[in-house]
Each structure stands twice: as C-alpha cells, then as structure tokens.
Amino acid sequence: MTRKQYIDILQAETAGGNITDEVRMDYRLMGAMLDIAREKAIVTYVTQKKVIPAMLYQTTYPQFRADVQEDNCNTIFPFPSKTIQTDAAFSGIAYIGGEDGKTPYIRSANQADYANQMQHYLMYAVSMKNPVCVYIPEFNLVRINKTPGQLPKRIMVTGVFANPTLIPEYNEQFDDYPLTMEIFTLAKDYLLQVDIRQVLATVPDDISNSSDDAAVAAQAPRK
C-alpha cells in the first residue's frame, strides 16, 4: 500500500469511520506522525521478533560530496535519512558497497574499529580489494577508505530508513510505503496513545490546507 492509503486508514479509524472536512487532519501532519510511529513500531518489532521484514528495506545511491583526511584517502557520503537502529545487532543497514550491489565494503563497528582496520588496509592494501567503511549515525554519513585514485563517486546503500519519503528513489504516489500490516498495527497503537481524536478536533483551527489558503487569497480584495 502507498503512504496515502495508510494515512487514509488512520484517518478513518481515528475519526470513527466518518471522515469529514471538520475532522480531517492535514495530510502532511498525519504523514509525519505516521513516519514517527513507524520508527517506534519497527524498533519494538525487531527487538521482540529478532527478524527484519524485507519490505522495510529501501535502496539509495548516495553521491560523492567531499573528501576528508586527504592523506588517508577517506571519502564521506551523507545519507538522505538516518537509519533505524535497535542495538549493535541491528544497525539498520543491510548493504554498503559498489553500486552494482555485488561489492560489499568491509564494515567497521565504530570509528575506533575503522581506524584500526584502515591501518591494516594501508599495510595490506594489495590483499584487501574492497574498501573499509564505517557508518556514523550521529552525523548520518558513511566514511569510506580507498586507495588513491580509486575513491568511489557513488555508492549503493540498502537499509531501513527512519523517513522513507526522504529517499530520492522513493515515489510517494506510486511506491509501496515500507511497512507491514503487523508493524502498522503497532504504529496505530502508538498513535492512539497520543489521543489523535483530540488533535483532529483542533487541527482545523491551527493548520490550514493549501487549497483553503488559495481560496482565501483568491477572494481577498486586490490592493
């Protein structure tokens, strides 16, 4: 199902099945709340089940942005969205590597481990064909080491992202929203805990739809 279809279900269930203009929440706000609840629900699900449904994964291709530590041949690639992590066993990333999807990089657990592996790489570069990389969640980027003249300009990342709509390859109108019905049920439970009905009752006074804004602007007297 698309993100809009999930939002429509939330709207119908929280409004008692009767969606009117008076109780309809602004789509952007409802979508943002769904994204937040989805992240919480995924953490709960993965922690309990120890399984990551394939439906949750998305693939993106971060582009080269800037070099750091030129002498050590490091390259950084910012991610469009942070990944969803639960613990050391689940980093939210299934693959970081060449854009062909067949060249996984040597992943370090943290920056200290990366520094050690990088030293090993520099000493034994001939026997280590794939680059060493580390994902730095606090800065939402991946750092990659490669031999001079072979720094990648584009990489492939497959992961579970906190905000699926920020992934450039994701088409909100046509693509399935990365969610399962079981996790969606958990997300609904989270949303109901914040009493959406009360929020719905006050939203029209606080948030106006863009279509309403346009109508008001059209009726306003010209200066």
DSSP letters of the chain?
Answer: --HHHHHHHHHHHHTTT---TTTPPPHHHHHHHHHHHHHHHHHHHHHHH----GGG-EEE-PBP-EEESGGGTEEEEE-SSPBP--BTTB-SEEEEE-TTSS-B-EEESSHHHHHHHHHHHHHSTTT--SPEEEEETTTTEEEEE--TT---SB-EEEE-BS-GGGSTT--TTTSPPS--HHHHHHHHHHHHHT-HHHHHHHHHHH---HHHHHHHHHHSPP-
Over residues 182-211, the pLDDT tens digits come to: 999 999 988 877 655 554 454 444 444 444
The answer to whether residue 220 scores a pLDDT higher than 70 is no
In the structure, what pLDDT confidence band is assigned to residue 118 with cuts at 50, 70 and 90?
A: low
- How confident is the model over 88-92, as a mean pLDDT? 76
Question: What's the whole-number mean pLDDT along residues 146-170?
Answer: 86
